[in-house]
Chains A and B, each alone.
Chain A
Amino acid sequence: MSFSIKENKTILFALAFIIIVGFWQPNVLMDGIQRGSMYAVIALPLALVLGILGVLNLAHGEFLTVGLYISYMFYNRFNLDPLLSIIPVSIILLVFGGLIYLLTVKRVIKEGHLNQLLLTFGISMILLEGVKMIWTTRPRNVFTDYAYASASIGEFSFGTYGLIYLLIAVLVLVFLQLFLKKTRLGQATFAVGQNPKGARIVGINVNLVYLFVFSISIAILGIVGGAMLPRTAIFPAVGSPYSLKSFALAAMAGLGNLNGILFAGIILGIGEAIINAIPGYSGWADLVFFGVLIIVILTRAFREAR
């Protein structure tokens, strides 16, 4: 993989930033990495759908909410551990995502952004309100002892559970890379992402690829849902902010740059963790992603204008 000099510079700056934060406040760095890899693993499927289908899925966060609630249902009804529920939840979401694709998204894939955005916005509202109808707005919690485990290096002790997101993010990334490079369906997916018309001409079943990519992306949210449940109080709007945060990461990393998303996620996570650590200003941490988004948009506009 080759990086241009400019990208190298950005990465060096970012690494320097991470190291400085690490020496200054190790807790903040650890919190940022855990938070950031969670953002990254949520953003990966959004970026995948955006890259291959060209559709920005505004219902992304709500699919995550659905995953969290189904995982909660397994815990509540069958006393299934949230981490074990990852398997059934991701299978359910795989089917659910596929159905939603076939019923709705498939029909607007050749239309303009306007219809796609409106449609996925409508879907996000249906999912959000549907969750409210089924489970009401009462917040729910799950208790597991491992969620509060901690470890220490010398004087510095930290919660270890959040590292599971880093693990999942790396696993998902490795799996996606291997899949895109080594398997036939993966190569077809890659080809469709590059040039859908050309892919169709050489005999690739583009519709099947779209269906597959959309379902897989929703299934990944099922994995995240199961992993998030032990540390997250869930309510109907719990997933909603992640659509925007995911888009901010995808835009920051650039289209098609899946590895960059993990990196961008960790930078965003550390940024939020820094604001969170300043006493009295923790409420402002939610705005970091918006700052990132505006900076990305301005640099794009500036580059296009030249």
Chain B
Amino acid sequence: MNSKNIILILLAIALVFPLFAGPYFVNVLTTIFVFLALSLSWDMMLRTGQLSFGTAAFFGLGAYASAITVLKLGWNPLFSIVIGGLFAGLISYILGYAVLKLREIYFSITTLAITSVFSVIIRNMSDLTGGAGGATFKSAIFNGDPTKIYYLLLFLTLVVIGISEWFKRSKIHFAINSIRNDEVTAKSSGIDVFKYLLLVFVITSIIQGVIGAVYAQQYAFVEPESTFSLNFLLLPIAMALVGGIYSTNGPIIGAFILGIISEYLKLIIPYGHLIVYGLIIVIVVLYMPSGIYKTVKGKMLTNNGRRESYDHT
């Protein structure tokens, strides 16, 4: 069975899943899509060699932009999701324009800072945002129908996967790879490094903003504490690291593995279950640069003797 067939089968399962699964499982899979899209967008930025800690920030920004357009302006929720994405994109453009000239530590630290910056701003602009107490909508999108929300997120996730694959096949991919491997060479072969980095940063921020907007509309609720939660930063990173970075498959596999495990972790460790993701990050960085999934799979295959190790001659 080749990989094309596997993809088609998985897609078919995803399409009919809500027809036979209960609302709990539909909800679990919906949440997995949310984190999958975030994880993939984080990885897309990482492929340029820039480590972003801003996923939760743009997620929250999109959520709030969408909430405000619905609550204060009374716009259509679906349209407000577009606004959420565009607003996150706009802010990321301004921010990227300022800091992407220096990159590396400066970029990482700025993206790490903006989560708290945005949440301070939102806490203090209480007339517009509801302040620290947050704001509740009259009703969730699609009147809270889990199946419709599931299909919306499935659609968005497929779009994100599409963007990620398009990145890999277009000339952007080659530009990005050359930036990561050797920036000086990239510059001297005429690649406008700054332009490509800004483009990728804006696109990934739009993705995070859109997903945040959908999440806000799904739960009909925004609040600084939970909307800018560490979850939306830590989990996507851990997922990409589990599945393997610099690829489309990695974050997808990681999102499914950790998405299911996280449901149990919340029950087993009520205080501080995020420690597991911290441990995952440390272990992967130190011991398994190709990701936990690939490392374990590789070990199992060699143990069964199906794959010979190359240095065993």
Contacts and interface: CB of A to CB of B under 8 A. Distances in A.
Interface of A: 56, 58, 104, 107-108, 113-115, 117-119, 121-126, 128-133, 136-137, 241, 244, 247, 251, 283-284, 286-287, 289-290, 293-294, 297-298, 300-301, 304-305
A123 B116 contact: no
Interface in B262-284: 269, 271-275, 277-282
Contacts of B104: 113-114
The 6 closest A-B pairs by CB, nearest first: A125-B278, A122-B281, A129-B275, A132-B272, A129-B272, A126-B278
Contact of A114 (B49, B113, B273, B277): B49
A153 B281 CA distance: 53
B81 to A, nearest CB: 28
A290 B106 CA distance: 12
Given A244-B109, A284-B120, A118 B101 contact: no
B278 A297 contact: no
Contacts of A251: 106
A297 B98 contact: yes
B27 to A, nearest CB: 25
A125 B106 contact: no
A107 B120 CA distance: 36
Given A132-B272, A133-B269, A290-B117, A115 B278 contact: no
A20 B279 CA distance: 50
B136 interface: no
Nearest to B101: A301
B281 A290 contact: no
B112 A122 contact: no
Contact of A286 (B53, B120, B279, B280): B120
A114 B282 contact: no
Interface of B: 46, 49, 51, 53, 98-99, 101-102, 104-106, 108-110, 112-114, 116-117, 120-121, 123-124, 230, 234, 237, 241, 269, 271-275, 277-282, 285-286
A56 B109 contact: yes
Contact of B113 (A115, A129, A293, A305): A293
B278 A300 contact: no
Contacts of B285: 108, 115, 118-119, 122
B102 A133 contact: no
Contact of A104 (B110, B230, B286): B286
Contacts of B271: 132-133, 136-137
Nearest to B107: A297
Given A117-B51, A118-B281, A300-B106, A126 B116 contact: no
Contacts, number: 112
Given A244-B116, A300-B106, 12 more contacts: A56-B109, A107-B286, A113-B105, A114-B46, A119-B286, A125-B230, A133-B269, A133-B271, A241-B116, A244-B109, A284-B124, A290-B114
28 contacts: A56-B105, A108-B285, A108-B286, A114-B51, A114-B104, A117-B108, A118-B237, A118-B285, A121-B53, A122-B282, A123-B282, A125-B278, A126-B275, A129-B273, A129-B278, A130-B275, A132-B271, A132-B272, A133-B271, A241-B116, A244-B109, A244-B116, A284-B120, A290-B114, A290-B117, A293-B109, A297-B106, A301-B102
Contacts of A123: 278, 282
B105 A130 contact: no
B311 to A, nearest CB: 22
A104 B278 contact: no
Contacts of A301: 98-99, 101-102
Given A114-B49, A121-B53, A283 B124 contact: yes
Given A117-B108, A294-B110, A287 B117 contact: yes
Contacts of A131: 272
Residue among A125, A136, A305 having the largest count of chain B Cβ atoms under 10 Å: A125
A248 B62 CA distance: 27
Contact of A247 (B102, B109, B272): B109
A297 B51 contact: no
Contacts of A283: 120, 123-124
A287 B120 contact: yes
Contacts of B110: 293-294, 297
A241 B116 CA distance: 9
B153 to A, nearest CB: 26
Contacts of B275: 125-126, 129-130, 133
Contacts of A58: 112
Given A117-B108, A300-B106, A126 B121 contact: no
Contacts of B282: 104, 119, 122-123, 126
B109 A122 contact: no
A123 to B, nearest CB: 6
B113 A130 contact: no
Contacts of B279: 122, 126
A293 B275 CA distance: 29
Contact of B278 (A122, A286, A289): A122
Contacts of A284: 120, 124
B109 A125 contact: no
A115 to B, nearest CB: 5
Given A136-B271, A284-B124, A125 B101 contact: no
Nearest to A107: B286
A119 B109 CA distance: 14
